[in-house]
Structure 1
Amino acid sequence: MASHPDLAPVAPVAPVAGDQTWHADTPPGEARWFAGAAAAAAVATEGGNPLVAAANALLNLIPQIRYTVHHPNPAWLREHLANEIRQFEERARSAGATPEQIGAARYGLCTALDEAAALTPWGGAGDWSANSLLVAFHNETWGGEKFFELLNRLMQQPREQLNLLELLYYCLVLGFEGRYRVLDNGRAQLDDLRHTLARTIRGVRGDYDAALSAHWRDEIAREDPHRFGIPLWACAALTVLMGFGVYVGLDLALAGRSDKAFAMIGRLQIPSVRLQAAEPQAVRPVPPPRLAGFLAPEIAEGLVEVRDATDRSVIVLRGDGLFESGSATVIDRYQPTLARVAAALARVPGAVVVAGYTDNVPVHSARFPSNWDLSVERAQAVAAILAARLGDASRVRAEGRGATDPVAPNDSAANRARNRRVEITLLAAPPKLAAPGAGDAP
């Protein structure tokens, strides 16, 4: 598979493979970003796998998208990826692929490209997931589970489905993880699956020829002996790659230390202070439930938990049902529940604090360097929805708590799921006490 060109400034180019046309008025940032894909499409025209050859430009874009921190126009990129997918279908159809093979290959490519974009700061804010490639072509919001179901079915017929298996294998090699991203020991399981798939493909395809060219020694002998052995662009690319590797390593190290720091802060204990006994105060009356009654249907369905106390009410939302794994975008089907929560909060005056929590499994990505960053963005996402529905943003405040204050030990998948949550606390004014002696008058 051809390597993707560097994203350097380029001049507008003429149409190339896939009928991709550039115009002089194309914004420079957009032209730089997509120019390499069009050039790569012209490279993969030969080889034993027509699906991989047809998808070469899209495959080259997967790692480029995943590690791009900023993009000038994500909507433009999504539209061009959609056009490239349609051109992939035409190339694959011309190469003799069946409609079933094209549909399965398109599903895998859409899923891998969507995941790569969703893990970036510019693609994980919600707009991409709401208008993803998988939604556009297959009317599905997440393919991280179905991708591997499809792969398992294809591996039952490796000889008949070899081209598709190789295409999905390239998606895995280029970083697609799907459901394994959130599973316990998921990386090791995914490595085992990749090795198994590689052995299956090699068993059908056979070993490659030992020599790629029959006359490779003659070509080397005719080269200019005074020519520098390594191109300058390769040295520059290697330097950039090494610098990027150092940056990523330092970023991950800093994120790991920050998680430990947040955990230590959470374990700090405030020194106890012994106070002199005060005179008995009048017992505050226990207020009736503020929110539990209104949210009784949601409580019965297990969507929320509600704790009403004297001075506050706490609504607990399970994070696994509220967000997709590794995302801070509220799932659409949970919007009605948040609307009911906002309606309940609107009935009672008081400040609202939205706190996000995670489990203790470290999260390190370009978008979320640490668990605390993930918890902050999840709390902000819920707070924004509540503030919009309450009509008073000054009432709502968002906080990230990371892995602090777990409600259960992080020693099992079930307990970690309980700790992944968002708590909405209503700080209500306490009830007024009756004046001393009130009611004793004759």
Structure 2
Amino acid sequence: MSTNDPQQPSPDDERTILIPSPGGKRGAAASAPAPAPAPQASTVQPPVPSSGPADATAAAAMPRIGGYGLNPLVAAASPLLDLVLPLRHMAAYPQVEHLRQQLVAGIKRFEQEAKAAQVPTDAIAVARYSLCTFLDETISATPWGSGGVWSSRSLLVTFHNEASGGEKFFLVLQKLCQDPGTHIDVLELMYLCLSLGLEGRYRVLDGGRGQLDILRERLLELIARQRGAVEPALSLHWQGAGGKGEALWRMLPVWVVAAIALSVLVLLHMALSFSLSRASTPVHTRLHGIAVAAWPASAAAAPLPAPAAPARVAKFLAPEIEQGLVSVSELPDRSIITLMGNGVFAPGSAEVTPSFVPLLQKIGDALRPVEGKVKVVGHTDNTTGFSTRFPSNWELSKGRAATVARMLGERAGPPERYSVEGRGDTEPVAPNDSAANRARNRRVVIMLLAPPSA
């Protein structure tokens, strides 16, 4: 094969157009390419698309690295192939002669790299012819490259002294397909030219696009048979993460599983707690309404006169009684301090409002010098709230009683002196038919029980 006249076909060559090409199996074209030489950097200045001649400029030199793993011809030609799309979409290029010089230098650099990779001279000639044909066709199809410098000084004219290679490219391709094992690297490069848009003689033929698709498909199949089957896996040594049908929860972090389980348990606890409260409230109400029969009075026993009730705490709490904050009932066996509930607690809460803390401290001071057990009983109105801590009025009334007992114990301990009880809305002191009456029913009763006499 001559360096300047690649693969000049004989007349017999036109008997069989065996030319294969792509369509179905795309990855086989470069499936197992020949080993490339050590990567070496080459520099080609690709043109930059512009909107008009005035601002059309060449881009700065861009380094191109010889493709590792490609066949040596494709590796050396890759900088030139990279220019095809930018050139095809440029609206104008004012320095056409400068572009031609750049491409001539790129073709020469391609030859040098191919020779350095020990590619045969005839294969380099065919590859150079294919690249010149492809680049000339691409530039000639643009508005700025269809005449002038390129029509008279194209790359084919410069390197092969031919005006057009659109016919001869396919004749050479047909010749090479008769011995694909020897010419596989050149066939791969020619396939890339066809895939990137080279049309040649098929551009002007009726149905040429369809014929060209068939040709590319057959060429791809031919290359695939030479290169062997394509490895479908992206990684040759991949390992599965686990057994077939592995559960999603095994892929989640432990803390995520724990958080989900905890959330489910909390929601389940809340649901069961509210359900239990709704079911138990009527039972508590009925139990509290059961009347206990009194023991029959002895006929022989004469009634004793009621002893006078001592003033245990009333005098000490006189200012608070006058302000209406508390009410005090002194009985012979106990003193009853009623803490009015309006404003003492926030709705649905068992925490004492800060403004009422001094009042509870004053009650504790009143209880400190007096002996006897203290029983704290909480009461609510008939309004039911929604709270995870206090799902019913029974729990809320007992929680408020416990808070008051704790604060009194801190002031007038010890804690064993105090007991708490919640009675919900079962013992109203007024009908729950107005805001004022409901405020009266929301109360805490503190009972100081006199110690038994000796």
Normalised TM-score (structure 2): 0.40
Structure of larger gyration radius: 2
Higher RCO structure, 1 or 2 (CA under 8 Å, sep 6+):
2
